[in-house]
Structure 1
Amino acid sequence: MSEQYLLNDAEVARFLVTGYHLVEPELPTGLNENIAAQLDALATNPGDAITEAVPELSQVLEHPTVTGALSSLLGPDYEVQPHRHWHCKQPDSPHMNWHQDGLNNRDILLNRFLGLYYPTDITANMGPTIIVPGTQFRNAPTDRMATYTNIRGQVALTVKAGTVAFTHYDLWHGTAANRSAHKRHMIKFLFRRTRENTAPTWNHDPEATNKPNDWNKKAQAEDANNILNFTNPIGVSQSDHYKERAIRRQNWDFLMGKQA
């Protein structure tokens, strides 16, 4: 893996804090359009067999920008899990309620996450995926979450064609309603760690967490130490922020290969 495609310390720290990271691979000309056309033509949802129905999806997974981010966060021996799903949001379809994927049994350490690939430009009226950065450590019953509407700090993934959004498995997410005349396609992939790190697997600077705390620029933190200490995506209370900061540091040490 060429180091130019690996994440840096600040990007890894931001993922630990916000629970998501976007990449925009430079895919071959026409690939996104080809994939979107094949999805448009599908009569039924093939479920886990979507990569067999649309084999060109493998070119997205194998792009070095994608594999570089995966190697940085899950190690070079990460696994692409067999479950994957095509989400097709039809025109005039309603919103999807807030939820967390999987069972209500959350993993604090970074051992798995999702990759969401969008083969077309996604505009605000197409029913984009909406995420709430920083909620990946907040376990909430789905029936309670279904009563929530807009949440402070939520982010609509209005992205350009070819974007892959890596999102923590437990990040709160839903979708807006599709009020356009177009189908909104998204392919969801799952990735997991196969072995614990013994050293950082990204472009790591040994001085990354030795930068002094900058209390004057907490909201504009740019280095790993200040990002881990101060970034507060949804403006939680001081007490909650202290708890989250401890989890972030635990994750950072885990990725650094420091055994508990």
Structure 2
Amino acid sequence: MRTHSCRPGLRDTQVLDFCKQGFLVLEGVVPDDINLRTVEFLNRYSSHEPSEILDEDWFVDNVILNDQAAGAVRCLLGQNFGLPIIMSNHRVNCPSPAQNWHRDGNSKHGPALNYLQVFYYPEDCSLDLGPTELLPGSHFLFSLSKRMGHYGGIRGAYRAAAPAGTIFLTVYSIWHRRSAASGTGLRNLLKYNYWRTEAPHRDWIREPDFDLATANYKLEDPTYREQFRDCNDAAEMFFWLHGKSDAFALLGGQGWP
């Protein structure tokens, strides 16, 4: 597996926000000419797994190793992170109905963050083209797929409508689905993973006034969980990313931190 090292691109508060939300959206970070070239490639290789694109230097340099995306990945997975080995394309003819809510197969739950699932829009994806819908904080919310699919619209869900060149990073276990598309035409959505190869530590841009004890670990309502559980889960993941999982403890009641 190929690996990559680069400079960090996220600060303390941004890493913590990723722990709370379970995703990070980087709008329009891929150049227009690369987006167009990607669409042309996908028209030639129209399978649901066009992994041949990972052999194209222009794609690897501008999408997989995109400065902003790679800088964020480095902060979440550490230096020498592993590069994608498979490329998937959710290529949909619109209009189309919404998918069922689901977690992708082989999801694991807990504070460890050893890989990321990443999505890339090579074209504008407006609301009428069925953008991916994400449920904030649900990467900590375990449920069997057969008990998730019957939900329709969920209050507080984030519909990732975005311009061409947008990349969004997610925790693999987050609840998501393709939203309903009322428009017409093809919608491409590339999906791939990055991998951790080094032990976690505070490997991002440090904010001088950031304090673990007073940081805001709360997810905006609705949290879909029992009171304060969102804070506890986000804090545990954040401590894990610091390499301080052994120091994380919850006394309960008002005993936080």
TM-score with structure 1 setting the length:
0.84
> Matched residues in 2 for 1:75 and 1:104: separation?
21
CA root-mean-square deviation: 2.2
> Matched residues in 2 for 1:38 and 1:119: separation?
11
> Matched residues in 1 for 2:230 and 2:16: separation?
13
Residue equivalent to 1:202: 204
Residue equivalent to 1:103: 106
Instruction: Report the CA distance between 1:206 and its aligned residue.
Output: 5.0
**1:141-198 per-position Cα deviation (integer Å, ceiling 9, x unaligned):** 111111100111101110111010101101100011222222111110111211212x
Q: Is the 8 A contact 2:132 2:179 kept in 1?
A: yes
| Structure 2 segments unaligned to the other structure (5+ residues) | 247-257
Residue equivalent to 1:128: 131
Instruction: Report the CA distance between 1:73 and its aligned residue.
Output: 0.7
> Matched residues in 1 for 2:79 and 2:43: separation?
34
Instruction: Report the CA distance between 1:207 and its aligned residue.
Output: 3.4
Residue equivalent to 2:149: 146
Q: Does 1:158 align with 2:161?
A: yes
Letter in 1 for 2:231: R
Greater CA drift, 18-27 or 172-181? 18-27
Instruction: Report the CA distance between 1:29 and its aligned residue.
Output: 4.2
Pairing of 1:33-48 with structure 2 (within 5 A): 33-48=36-51
User: Cα 1:94–1:55, aligned 2, differ >3 Å: closer, same or farther?
Assistant: farther
Instruction: Report the CA distance between 1:82 and its aligned residue.
Output: 1.2
Residue equivalent to 1:222: none
Q: Is the 8 A contact 2:26 2:69 kept in 1?
A: yes
Instruction: Report the CA distance between 1:93 and its aligned residue.
Output: 2.4
**1:197-246 per-position Cα deviation (integer Å, ceiling 9, x unaligned):** 2x31110125312575xxxxxxxxxxxx12x1x22342445xx2423322
Pairing of 1:1-260 with structure 2 (within 5 A): 6-24=9-27, 26-52=29-55, 56-58=58-60, 59-103=62-106, 105-197=108-200, 199-209=201-211, 212=214, 225-226=215-216, 228=217, 230-236=218-224, 240-260=226-246
Q: 1:231 aligns to what SS in structure 2?
A: coil
Tell me which stretches of 4 or more aligned residues in structure 1 moved more than 6 Å.
none
Residue equivalent to 2:249: none
* Residue-pair matches, total: 241
User: Cα 1:150–1:128, aligned 2, differ >3 Å: closer, same or farther?
Assistant: same
**1:101-134 per-position Cα deviation (integer Å, ceiling 9, x unaligned):** 1235424322212110000111001011000011
> Matched residues in 2 for 1:253 and 1:142: separation?
29
Greater CA drift, 159-168 or 73-82? 73-82
Instruction: Report the CA distance between 1:78 and its aligned residue.
Output: 1.2
Letter in 2 for 1:245: C
Q: 2:185 aligns to what SS in structure 1?
A: coil
User: Cα 1:28–1:210, aligned 2, differ >3 Å: closer, same or farther?
Assistant: closer
| Structure 1 segments unaligned to the other structure (5+ residues) | 213-224
Residue equivalent to 1:219: none
> Matched residues in 1 for 2:212 and 2:144: separation?
38
